[in-house]
Amino acid sequence: MPPNAPDSEFVISRTFAASVERLWATLTSPDQISAWMGPPGVKTTNLKLELWPGGVNHTRFDSPGAPPFWGKFVYREVVEPSRLVWAHTIADEQERIIRAPWDPNWPLELLTTVVLEPVGDAAATLTLTWAPLNPTPLEEKAFAKARPSMQWGWGGSFDRLAEHLATGAQTA
């Protein structure tokens, strides 16, 4: 977490060997999302992607030895190729928002902001900020306690994203 980030936010940033445009395409294509999102060992299936404000991204996550769970993102901002903002929730198979199976006090909604910034012509920095939306005190506490897990989860996703980009995978 950067030293200036408030306790109520989780921030992770990484520079990737890809242009902003290529990174954007990898973040906004269903097939590409399925290839990298989730920590190692998690199989991700992007079921629906409506890339516009009010649109939904519905994704299934399968982990060995655990029941599947789904994520639902409702986009608030889509500014190609530099910014995505969405409300991030745990959902069921029908896209209904549910409590996280791993912690009943996990925030129902997280505001997710992704900013892409070019670093020369062939690299880009992705900064992701996560913050609970209208959390209860118990949700704030659960979010703060889960920082190591968030670092592992998003860090693992970013590792998979870097590997995916390095394979020369083409974007849609």
Average pLDDT over residues 10-34: 95
Query: pLDDT by residue (tens digit) across 81-139?
Result: 999 999 999 999 999 999 999 899 999 999 999 999 999 889 999 999 999 999 999 99
pLDDT score of 2: 41
Query: pLDDT by residue (tens digit) across 36-47?
Result: 998 889 999 999
- With a cut of 90, say whether residue 1 has pLDDT above it: no
Phi, psi of 43 (to 5 degrees): -95, 125
pLDDT score of 40: 86
* Contact assessment for residue 57 and residue 88, using Cβ atoms and an 8 Å cutoff: no
Task: Say what the alpha-carbon torsion angle 3, 152, 117, 53 is, to the nearest 10 degrees.
Answer: -110
Topology of the domain comprising 10-166: Alpha-D-Glucose-1,6-Bisphosphate; Chain A, domain 4 (3.30.530)
Average pLDDT over residues 20-47: 93
121 alpha carbon, distance to own chain's centre: 24
pLDDT score of 8: 85
- With a cut of 80, say whether residue 56 has pLDDT above it: yes
**Domain-by-domain residue ranges, the chain?**
10-166
Name the DSSP class of 98: -
